[in-house]
Structure 1
């Protein structure tokens, strides 16, 4: 299950996010989203866990939990809509 994690500290790295969620089970991937130009954190990321049950426990345990002075917002990630091409031929 893929989860959206918002309100991260701007110092949080991928590995920090992975360790935080690993307390609840097996983490497939953890990615803090960064700005393309500055490479600085945008304050949110995505975590994927192998088991839906573990992911639900992580959401329950970490949503609104204060980390580095910020209350995390953890929820199930929404599917990204398919991109449409705006190319003109």
Structure 2
């Protein structure tokens, strides 16, 4: 499981986030995506903690909390969608519903 942390200051660092979430348990990983062109933080992050109980406590306490001049949005991260914008598992189609890329025509 992973935690999504949004509405972050563009000045935030991985160390800042680790420090905040360490108050709720053992932080396994912090991912702070940056813009490819500018190298600037994109305003959101993903945090993984040792246990689900630690993650739940952090989510409950930090969602909506004011930090670095912003109100954080903290919740369970959702699985990433693929580049087509759906949750399919890839492949060329076929199977029981008929072939190919006939999206929405079942």
Q: TM-score, normalised by structure 1?
A: 0.89
1:72 aligned partner: 72
Matched, 1:7 2:4: no
Determine the C-alpha separation between the residues in 1 that align with 2:31 and 2:16.
Answer: 10
For these two proteins, the number of residue pairs brought into alignment is 85
Residue deviations 1:34-53, cap 9 Å, x none? Answer: 10111101100100011000
What are the residue-to-residue correspondences of 1:34-53 with 2, within 5 Å?
34-53=34-53
Q: Which has the higher strand share?
A: 1
Query: RMSD across aligned C-alpha pairs, in angstroms?
Result: 1.4
Stretches of 4+ aligned residues off by more than 2 angstroms: 81-85
1:30 aligned partner: 30
* 1:82 CA displacement: 4.1
Give 5+ residue unaligned stretches, structure 1: none
* 1:4 CA displacement: 0.4
Give 5+ residue unaligned stretches, structure 2: 84-89, 92-106
1:54 aligned partner: 54
* 1:75 CA displacement: 0.5
Q: TM-score, normalised by structure 2?
A: 0.75
**Larger gyration radius, structure 1 or structure 2:** 2
Determine the C-alpha separation between the residues in 1 that align with 2:41 and 2:62.
Answer: 20
